[in-house]
Amino acid sequence: MKMKELEHVSGLGRETIRYYIREGLLPEPERPKRNVAVYTDAHVKRLNLIKRLQAERHLPLSLIKSLVMSEAENPVTGFEAFIGLENRLGPLLSEGRAFGARPLAEVLADVPISLEEARVLEASGVLMIERKEGGEFLNQRNARLLELIGKARVAGYTPEASYTVDIYGIYAEMMQVLAHHAVAQFYRNLGTRVDYEQAANMAAEGVNIINEMMQHMFVERIIHEVERVTATGTLEDGEE
């Protein structure tokens, strides 16, 4: 189709379409001749996606560009339908607590952890600190993470016993791998089968189920590992 037809089916003017092409949000058209540009259904689909992300998710063009480019390079079924799912999922997983941010300094005042240690936890991917006008903040999940690390310290897992905060980095690495796998599988399996609201509810329930499964699996493996050490008298790598 030509530009005039693309304007008609998309409801957008040619200047807007050309701007999207210049900014990389829309692919270049085919040009069989020097002054001829041919647009396809892929252009219509992309323009409809951009319009929907702006109207329904209120996303800025800079973020939309990142999303559509990611989708073009690594297509995942259901990507378009579930854009912005995190905005619905977060409150569903707040477990009845206020889904708001607390100042980092306020949380640190209640736990035996220093600001420098919080920076180490952030650098290793354990802690996610939100920076916005007014300072640094933690959502309720990250605030609870600091509380739990402080609780572990009170229980005896202290730097003097070689339990410095950087040891938690390995858990963040493993969580990232699991999260990446879980989200990709969710989008591929359910992207064309459920609507946005159902997806949010299923995702929240799935996270709660997996959390409990992981808790039980971890406890089982801790017990079996302790049994193995007792039976063999060795730690990892044959260390006595």
Q: Which CATH class is domain 85-196?
A: mainly alpha
Q: Above 70 in pLDDT, residue 145?
A: yes
Q: Could you please report the per-residue DSSP string of 42-96?
A: HHHHHHHHHHHHHHHS---HHHHHHHHHHHHHS--TTTTTTTTHHHHHHHHTSTT
Mean pLDDT confidence for 206-233? 93
DSSP 149: H
Collapsing DSSP to helix, strand or coil, 16 comes out as: helix
The answer as to CATH 1.10.1660.10 being correct for domain 3-73 is: yes
Same fold, 3-73 and 85-196: yes
pLDDT of 150: 97
Amino acid sitting at position 55? A
Per-residue confidence (pLDDT) for residue 168, from 0 to 100: 95
Name the DSSP letter for residue 32. Answer: E
- What is the rounded radius of gyration, in angstroms, for the C-alpha atoms of the chain? 24
Report the pLDDT averaged over residues 132-145.
91
pLDDT in tens, 81-105: 676 777 778 778 775 555 578 999 9
Q: Is the pLDDT of residue 77 over 60?
A: no
CB 233 within 8 A of CB 240: yes
The model carries a pTM of: 0.65
Residue-wise pLDDT tens digits, 25-46: 888 999 888 888 999 998 998 8
Helix (H, G, I), strand (E, B) or coil at 100: coil
List the chain domain ranges: 3-73, 85-196
